[in-house]
C-alpha cells in the first residue's frame, strides 16, 4: 500500500512564525502522501483574553460555549488554517484547508454530559476516507483544523490530537500510515526540563510502568492515549517529538504496541 504521513502540529510551534515556517518547509518536502492536522489553542486563548471571553480548561480539554465556538472557528478555521495553507503554497506544496464540515470531511457527535459539560465539543463519528483519498491521489495535501460538524448545521470543537488519530485509523485500510505528533519538546521525557531524559521507545507494557511510577506528566497522557488508540486501529507507528522529527534529523519517542 502507498505510504501516508499524518502530522499533527501544535504547541508553541504554531505561535512562532520562524519555527512554523521551518516546520512547514520540512512538511512540504515529506515524501509520499501527507495530511497536516493543527490546533491553535494558545492563539485562541490569547484572543479570548483580548475579547473578554472566559477560558475554561478541564482535564486538558477546552470547555466550549457559544462565544468560544465562534472565536475558535475564526481562529482555527480562518487565521491559523489559511496562514498555514498560504505558506505551504509558497513552498510548492499544494495544500487545501479543511474544517470537518468542508466536503463532509469529519462528522462528530456532541460529547455527552457526564461529570463535565464540555459544551460544543464533538467526538468524531465518521471520517470521509473517499474525500481524503481523492485529494491525496491528486497530490493535494489536506490541512485539517480542529473543527468538526454533526451533519445538521452544528460545528464542534474537537481535539486535534484525536482528529489526527481518527484520520489515521480510518486511512490505515488504504495506506501504510504513520502518525506524528509534533510540538516544541523532544518527545516524552522522564524530566520535562531535561531533554537528555527523552524516552525513545514506549510500548503498552512500558507505558503501564511509566503510569504506575508517575513518570509521565499529565499533559502528555491524552497524546499517549491517542497514540495507542491509533496503533490498535491499524496505524503502523506513532512518533511524538519536535517538529524536526518528520525529517529524521532528531531523536523522538517512538510508540509501538510491543
Q: Where are the domains of the chain?
A: 3-255
Which of 89, 106, 197, 68 has its CA nearest to residue 140? 89
Name the pTM for this structure: 0.94
Which CATH code fits 3-255? 3.40.1160.10
Residue 59 has pLDDT above 80, yes or no: no
Q: Give per-residue pLDDT as tens, 148-176.
A: 999 999 999 999 999 999 999 999 999 99
- Compute CA 120 distance to the chain's CA centroid, rounded to the nearest angstrom: 19
Half-sphere exposure of 45 (CA within 13 A, CB side): 13
Q: pLDDT category, 75, cuts 50, 70, 90?
A: very high
pLDDT attached to residue 54: 85
User: Across residues 86-105, what is the average pLDDT?
Assistant: 98
Q: Which residues pair with 4 in a beta bridge?
A: 33, 177
Q: For the chain, what's the residue count?
A: 258
Amino acid at each position: 500500500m502507498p505510504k501516508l504521513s499524518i502530522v499533527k502540529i501544535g504547541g508553541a510551534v504554531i505561535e512562532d512564525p520562524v519555527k512554523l515556517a521551518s516546520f512547514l518547509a520540512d512538511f512540504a518536502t515529506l515524501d509520499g502522501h501527507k495530511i497536516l492536522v493543527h490546533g491553535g489553542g494558545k492563539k485562541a486563548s490569547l484572543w479570548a483574553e483580548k475579547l473578554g471571553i472566559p477560558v475554561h480548561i478541564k482535564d486538558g480539554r477546552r470547555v466550549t460555549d457559544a462565544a468560544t465556538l465562534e472565536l475558535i472557528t475564526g481562529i482555527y478555521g480562518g487565521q491559523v488554517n489559511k496562514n498555514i495553507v498560504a505558506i505551504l503554497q509558497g513552498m510548492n506544496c499544494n495544500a487545501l484547508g479543511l474544517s470537518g464540515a468542508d466536503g463532509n470531511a469529519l462528522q462528530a457527535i456532541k460529547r455527552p454530559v457526564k461529570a463535565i459539560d464540555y459544551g460544543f465539543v464533538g467526538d468524531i463519528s465518521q471520517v470521509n476516507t473517499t474525500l481524503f483519498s481523492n485529494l491525496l491521489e491528486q497530490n493535494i495535501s489536506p490541512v485539517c483544523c480542529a473543527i468538526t460538524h454533526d451533519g445538521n448545521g452544528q460545528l464542534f470543537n474537537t481535539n486535534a490530537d484525536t482528529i489526527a488519530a481518527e484520520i489515521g485509523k480510518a486511512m490505515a485500510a488504504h495506506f501504510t500510515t504513520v502518525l506524528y505528533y509534533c510540538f516544541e519538546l523532544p518527545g516524552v521525557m522522564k524530566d520535562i526540563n531535561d531533554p537528555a531524559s527523552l524516552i525513545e521507545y514506549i510500548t503498552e507494557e512500558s507505558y503501564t510502568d511509566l503510569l504506575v511510577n508517575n513518570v509521565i506528566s499529565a499533559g502528555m497522557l491524552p497524546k499517549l492515549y491517542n497514540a495507542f488508540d491509533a496503533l490498535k486501529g491499524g496505524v503502523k507507528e506513532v512518533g511524538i517529538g519536535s517538529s524536526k522529527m518528520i525529517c529524521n534529523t532528531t531523536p523522538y519517542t517512538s510508540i509501538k504496541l510491543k
